[in-house]
Each structure stands twice: as structure tokens, then as C-alpha cells.
Amino acid sequence: MPERTFSIGHVSSATGCKVETIRFYESIGLLPEPERTEGNQRRYLAKHIDRLRFILHARELGLAVEAIRQLISLAENPAASCEQADEIARQQLQLVRNKIARLTQLAEELERIVASCSGERIADCRVMEVLADHSHCDHGDGRGNMRF
């Protein structure tokens, strides 16, 4: 009995992924191209949906396309050590922690700016002053760059 196939619309509905994104993942080789009907319609298998869900979950975790490509390659050898997969996850965790630290600093800076504004006139507005001259910013280097 032949394996059940699915249209791209069904795959999109089943995964919540836009059709254009599915085609993009095919074009960059993350998702294998499916068989096509005589009418040139894509016909996906359950394994395509599983792979797409893997890709989407990895993207939700912020993993880059190249990291996902490496993980997919690792998945092709289930008996291999998971050391590389662990390292990819550790690196992503560090990136996320670094982003959180930067965002925390940005939030603190914005809280300071907002708290120092009287809210009366634009001419006296601390928000406008800091945005116009980064040297007034606690984290600024005086050249318009944040220091983290």
C-alpha cells in the first residue's frame, strides 16, 4: 500500500508554516524536495512534515539555518554521539543569555530616561534630549553607540 501524500496546503495547515516558507526551506536544502504529480503538484510525505516541524521548532529557539543544517545532518546518524548537538545548543543558549543581558541594559536605560522626563514640553523633554545626544545616555560612548 503506497504511503499517504499531502499537498503543500495541507502541510502548511498541519504545521502553521506559510507555503512560501516551505518552498524556501526546500530551496535552501533544509527540507527535501517532495515528489511531484504528473500535473507538477508537490506531494509531501509524513517525513516531510516531521522534518518541517523540527526546522520550525529549531527556528523558534533562535537557531540559525546553518546550525539547523548541522543538526539535520547529525540526525541522519542516530548511533553517533550527541556531543555536537549539545555544543550547538550550548552556543545558542549563550547567545540568548547575551541578548537578554543587552535587553536588560536597554530596559534599564529606557526606564532611567523616562523617569527623568517631566512630560511637560518637547523643548524640555529628557527623552528627546537623550535621543539627540547619546552622550547623555548612561551606556553611551558619546558617539551614538551603546556599550555592553
Torsion sign (Cα): 29, 34, 40, 41: negative
- The model's pLDDT over 14-69, given as tens digits with 9 standing for 90+, comes to 999 999 999 999 999 999 999 998 999 999 999 999 999 999 999 999 999 999 99
pLDDT of residue 146: 53
- List all residues 6 or more positions away from 65 whose beta carbon is below 8 Å from its beta carbon: 28, 30
The tens digit of pLDDT for each residue in 87-101 reads 999 999 999 999 999
**In this structure, which topology does domain 8-80 adopt according to CATH?**
Multidrug-efflux Transporter Regulator; Chain: A; Domain 2 (1.10.1660)
Task: Give the bridge partners for 140, in sequence order.
Answer: 146
Q: How far is CA 46 from CA 21, 50, 75, 103, 135, in A?
A: 18, 6, 17, 40, 57
Over the chain, what is the mean pLDDT?
A: 89
